[in-house]
């Protein structure tokens, strides 16, 4: 059964910044875009590059290894060489400024 797990607080990330978090044995890239937070699998679908270390521009992240681009909000592929999307996770912010990911 999926559940929300606290992974950060809102003040831990600046706008257009990413952070690697590990939840239930899964590596997840947490992103902040303005006041919203998004989470994707940290592993690029091309050659397993770490998306949390990629360059963030607007709602896109570029894999630091081979340049594949993904939509931070959905995980959709926006540019080769990746051929398929990365997993996206639901994220919520609680009243206490805790950022939680559903896993």
Q: What is the pLDDT of residues 33-67, one digit of tens each?
A: 999 999 999 999 999 999 999 999 999 999 999 99
* Residues 56, 45, 58: CA angle, nearest 5 degrees: 15
Question: What pLDDT does 99 receive?
Answer: 98
Phi/psi for 100 (5° steps) reads: -125, 140
Alpha-carbon torsion 35, 23, 89, 55, what sign? positive
Query: Among 85, 78, 80, 8, which residue's Cα sits nearest to residue 40?
Result: 85
Question: What pLDDT does 95 receive?
Answer: 87
Question: What pLDDT does 62 receive?
Answer: 98
Residue 66 burial (CB count, 10 A)? 13
Q: pTM of this prediction?
A: 0.95
Averaged confidence pLDDT in the chain = 97
Query: Taking residues 23-35, what's their average pLDDT?
Result: 96
Residue 23, pLDDT above cutoff 90: yes
* Omega prior to 102 cis, within 30 of 0: no
Asked if the 4-102 domain carries CATH number 3.40.50.2000, the reply is no
Angstrom distances, CA of residue 39 to CA of 7, 19, 27: 11, 10, 10
């Amino acid at each position: 059964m999926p559940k929300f797990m606290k992974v950060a607080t809102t003040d831990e990330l600046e706008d257009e910044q990413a952070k690697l978090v590990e939840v239930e044995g899964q590596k997840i890239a947490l992103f902040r875009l303005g006041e919203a937070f998004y989470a994707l699998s940290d592993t690029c679908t091309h050659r397993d590059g770490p998306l949390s270390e990629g360059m963030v521009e607007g709602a896109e992240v570029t894999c630091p290894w081979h340049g594949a681009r993904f939509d931070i909000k959905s995980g959709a592929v926006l540019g080769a060489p990746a051929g398929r999307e990365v997993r996206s996770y639901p994220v919520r912010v609680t009243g206490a400024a805790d950022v939680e990911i559903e896993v």
